[in-house]
């Protein structure tokens, strides 16, 4: 027994002692920072592509060699994807950006193919600096194709509906909503309209207070409709008009309300800016007429008044900083203290070093809107 064991160790020992040589290369470490996406799941597709690659590997920001900042804007049926590569690899550009349009109505496989074409073009710039032998480059003349104009229509229609509820022996509640929207969009203008409604119901056990039964059953509904028109004068200026009307149940504030406004706006970024940046101001003026279900604090059962408002919005993105600011001031033209609204909202996302992200949101609202006038009965 001891001789056979010794023979096995001597015979097989050298083979067992061989070690498989460790690979002399390592995959490129890539981190995806998803700043903004719209309809196509761009960030999910990118992470799946990285995980399925033999020469790429997902890494946290503290240990990556390339960071890919992803921003998406919407343009008609396309999601315009901006991939901004940032790296400190020697010999590679510190920043490299590619923009790719992806069809939002295409299949998942088709969308991934469209996205990968742009992603591989960008990441190969950095992968070739680390492992030039794994990158193959081919050049070919573009294939001339006859332009085929697809049959399209400027009209779009959207119908929506939904609801939720809960039902038990003592408690019941439900919410339902639905509507229809239609738009006509051309290169320089857009107009359309829509209608919507909602209904809410709630029932709880009744209360007994001093011998009186108080039933806790509520039901409410509301209807609304709108028409709008936008016209682009040039790349920076546009005008528009909006008309709205609404009705609420007898327990709501408005028996009916009608509002019509027109305005002008100035934009400093295109609507399909690849990084989603925007900076715009607008001035809007119009008229509003209301009929209330109850007398308000000003002694009014109905009112007709002119309003105007000033709006400002900004949203900018850098590689490690995102900043946003919205400001709005609305008031009645005559006696502005009776009806006015002031809104300020700011937000930011900051990457502080390799391990810390800081998000900040702050909103402030001040408003003066006449409420119901309650009379004390004895």
Q: Domain residue spans in the chain?
A: 26-134, 155-368
* pLDDT tens digit sequence for 43-87: 999 999 999 999 999 999 889 999 999 999 988 788 999 999 999
Identify the pLDDT of residue 353: 80
* Helix intervals (H) in the chain: 2-17, 42-51, 108-130
Dihedral sign, Cα of residue 268, residue 269, residue 275, residue 277: positive
Q: φ and ψ at 374, to 5 degrees?
A: -100, 130
Report whether 263 contacts 238 (CB < 8 A): no
Average pLDDT over residues 32-47: 91
pLDDT higher than threshold 70 for residue 375:
no
| Residue-level pLDDT at 169 | 86
Q: CA 274 to CA 265: how far, in whole Å?
A: 21
Q: Residue 221: its pLDDT value, please?
A: 95
Give burial (CB, 10 Å; 0-12/13-18/19+) of 233: exposed
Q: Is the pLDDT of residue 1 over 70?
A: no
Question: DSSP string spanning 187-225?
Answer: SSEEEEEEEEEEEEEEEEEEEEETTEEEEEEEEEEEEEE
Residue with the bigger pLDDT between 28 and 12: it is: 28
Is residue 20 over pLDDT 60? Answer: no
Are 317 and 37 within 8 A, CB to CB? no
Kindly tell me if the per-residue pLDDT of 316 is higher than 60: yes
pLDDT confidence bin for 15, thresholds 50/70/90 = very low
Q: How many CB atoms lie within 10 A of CB 254?
A: 15
222-246 tens-digit pLDDT? 999 999 999 999 989 999 999 999 9
Residues 214, 337: Cα–Cα separation, whole Å? 38
Q: Mean pLDDT, the chain, as a whole number?
A: 87
- CA–CA separation, 75 vs 55, rounded Å? 33
CATH number 1.10.260.40 is the correct assignment for the domain at 26-134:
no
pLDDT class of 147 with cuts at 50, 70, 90: low
Query: Which of 201, 194, 203 minimizes the C-alpha distance to 176?
Result: 201
Instruction: Supply the pLDDT for residue 13.
Output: 45
Beta bridge partners of 191: 184, 229
Output the pLDDT for position 12.
40
CA nearest to 41, candidates 99, 123, 112, 118: 112
Q: What is the CA angle 259-178-76, rounded to 5?
A: 80
Tell me the CB-side half-sphere exposure of residue 199, using CA atoms within 13 A: 9
Q: Give residue 289's pLDDT band: very low, low, confident or very high (50, 70, 90).
A: very high
Task: Identify the pLDDT of residue 3.
Answer: 41
Which of the four CATH numbers 3.40.1350, 2.40.360, 1.10.287, 2.40.160 does domain 155-368 have?
Answer: 2.40.160
Q: How confident is the model at residue 19 (pLDDT cuts 50, 70, 90)?
A: low
């Amino acid at each position: 027994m001891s001789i056979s064991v010794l023979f096995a160790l001597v015979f097989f020992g050298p083979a067992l002692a061989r070690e498989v040589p460790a690979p002399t290369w390592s995959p490129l470490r890539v981190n995806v920072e998803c700043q903004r996406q719209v309809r196509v799941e761009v960030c999910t597709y990118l992470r799946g592509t990285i995980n399925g690659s033999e020469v790429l590997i997902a890494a946290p920001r503290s240990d990556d060699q390339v960071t890919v900042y992803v921003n998406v804007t919407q343009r008609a049926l396309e999601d315009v994807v901006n991939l901004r590569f940032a790296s400190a690899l020697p010999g590679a550009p510190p920043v490299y950006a590619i923009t790719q349009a992806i069809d939002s109505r295409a299949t998942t496989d088709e969308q991934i193919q469209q996205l990968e074409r742009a992603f591989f073009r960008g990441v190969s710039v950095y992968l070739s600096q680390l492992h030039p032998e794994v990158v193959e480059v081919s050049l070919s003349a573009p294939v001339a194709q006859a332009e085929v104009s697809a049959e399209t229509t400027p009209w779009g229609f959207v119908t929506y509906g939904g609801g939720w509820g809960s039902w038990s022996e003592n408690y019941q509640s439900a919410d339902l909503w639905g509507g229809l929207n239609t738009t006509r969009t051309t290169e320089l203008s857009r107009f359309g309209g829509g209608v919507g409604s909602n209904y809410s119901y709630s029932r709880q056990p009744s209360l007994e207070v001093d011998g009186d039964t108080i039933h806790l059953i509520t039901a409410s509904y509301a209807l609304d409709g709108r028409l709008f028109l936008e016209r682009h004068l040039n790349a920076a200026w546009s005008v528009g008009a909006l008309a709205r009307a609404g009705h609420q149940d007898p327990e709501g504030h408005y028996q009916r309300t009608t509002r019509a406004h027109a305005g002008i706006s100035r934009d400093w970024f295109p609507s399909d800016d690849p990084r989603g940046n925007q900076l715009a101001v607008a001035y809007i003026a119009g008229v509003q007429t209301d009929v209330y279900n109850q007398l308000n604090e000003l002694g009014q059962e109905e009112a007709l008044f002119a309003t105007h408002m000033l709006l400002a919005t900004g949203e900018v993105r850098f590689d490690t900083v995102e900043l946003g600011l919205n400001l709005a001031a609305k008031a009645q033209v005559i006696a502005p203290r009776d009806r006015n609204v002031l809104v300020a909202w700011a937000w930011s996302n900051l990457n502080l070093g390799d391990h810390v992200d800081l998000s900040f949101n702050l909103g402030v609202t001040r408003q003066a809107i006449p409420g119901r006038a309650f009379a004390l009965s004895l």
